[in-house]
Amino acid sequence: MELRHLRYFVAVAGELHYGRAAERLHIAQPGLSQQIKAFERELGVSLFTRNRRGVSLTDAGSALLPAAQDVLARADAAVELARRYGAGQAGRLAISLTRSAPRSVVTDVIDGFRAANPAVDVWLTSGFTARDEQRLRERSIDVAFLRLLDDPRDDLAVRTVGGEAIVAAVTSTDPLARKRRLRRDDVAGRPLVWWPREHGPRMWDRMLDQVFGDGVRPPVAHWEPEEEHMLHAVAQGHGITFITEGKSATLHVPGVAIRRFADPVPTVPITMAWHRDNPNPALRRFLSHVGDLAALSVDRRGPSGPSRTR
């Protein structure tokens, strides 16, 4: 049995007229009549009664019709599903977010993609840069939003999607807390609370270069694994630290004051990375979505407008 025979049968059953059914199917009427006869011979039953008044279904034809319609509907749904997967409109997309990524930059992109592609299962996780690079190469994730690649080989593609200011965290009783804006000289020589370099070597270097100057590496007085612990260490008087502005908006530790820097403001980028050879169609669609957002942003600013990405 072929699906086309079921389609021919359903068309004739719906029209009860070979001529109209042939027009609907865009085939010649004699050919349609021959195909229906061949289908009946294959089944060993008559599906239609033919007389001078027209065409009517036999009992066998009436019994077959709903089942044939169901089979065709399922076949059409299967074809559509395959096409949607092939176009990236369905499937699964695994995305990892760096723990310091600001919500407004990354989640707006992801939420927009979800709204436009509800059949794609977007699976979110988080991790450090070094681990995310490994997972991209293992293909256990499709996209990683991170700061800077630590191992920027050619197998991973990278795109900058935003930038973010670095801010200082000091105790609320520190004289620096009384300043509206800080300068590099204000923080030089102060005890530093910091995080392990292996969590993200290039980000580690970038932040210190931006705050203290290229290649300047102040001694670390106290080590902590991540931002929240760092702020608690600051509150306990172990020193000052630096985090991203977006992260500071989500962490509120009593006894800690957040202060911005004067121009030139130290910044860190937000990048999106993926494996160049990843065949996932949902990834291609996601990259297109991000590209459309970038083009829209340029259009809104105008060709000579300022870029929002630092």
Residue 221 near residue 193 (C-beta atoms within 8 A): yes
C-alpha to C-alpha distances, 9 to 30, 37, 45, 193, nearest whole angstrom: 14, 10, 13, 77
* Nearest C-alpha neighbor of 134 from the set 96, 93, 105: 96
Euclidean distance between CA atoms 124 and 150, whole angstroms: 21
E strands within 109-264? 120-127, 143-146, 156-171, 181-182, 192-194, 220-223, 241-244, 256-261
* Nearest C-alpha neighbor of 210 from the set 151, 254, 269: 269
CATH (domain of 196) = 3.40.190.290
pLDDT score of 22: 92
C-alpha to C-alpha distances, 4 to 36, 37, 280, nearest whole angstrom: 10, 13, 32
pLDDT score of 309: 29
Tell whether 248 and 226 lie within a shared domain.
yes
Radius of gyration of the chain (CA): 32
Amino acid present at 208:
L
Q: For the residues of 249-266, what is the DSSP string, one character each? A: HH---TTEEEEEEPSSPP
Tell whether 17 and 134 lie within a shared domain.
no
Euclidean distance between CA atoms 231 and 243, whole angstroms: 9
b/e code 103-115 from CB counts within 10 Å (16+ = b): eebbeebbeebee
pLDDT score of 103: 62
Terminal-residue alpha carbon distance, the chain: 63
Please tell me the total count of domains within the chain: 2
pLDDT score of 51: 79
Tell whether 214 and 244 lie within a shared domain.
yes
Tell whether 10 and 96 lie within a shared domain.
no
Tell whether 225 and 300 lie within a shared domain.
yes
Tell whether 74 and 120 lie within a shared domain.
no
Below-50 pLDDT ranges, the chain: 296-310
pLDDT score of 179: 95
Tell whether 238 and 113 lie within a shared domain.
yes
> Inter-axis angle of helices 201-212 and 129-138, to 10 degrees?
140
Q: Which of 48, 68, 86 is the last residue of a domain?
A: 86
Q: Which of 18, 52, 86 is the last residue of a domain?
A: 86
Tell whether 112 and 63 lie within a shared domain.
no
Residue 152 near residue 144 (C-beta atoms within 8 A): no
Q: Which of 44, 63, 86 is the last residue of a domain?
A: 86
Half-sphere exposure of 154 (CA within 13 A, CB side): 0
Tell whether 188 and 46 lie within a shared domain.
no
Tell whether 214 and 119 lie within a shared domain.
yes
CATH (domain of 55) = 1.10.10.10
pLDDT score of 178: 95
pLDDT score of 306: 34
pLDDT score of 113: 92
Which DSSP letter does residue 170 get? E
Q: Which residue range is the domain that position 7 belongs to?
A: 3-86
Tell whether 220 and 235 lie within a shared domain.
yes
E strands within 52-104? 54-57, 91-98
Tell whether 142 and 177 lie within a shared domain.
yes
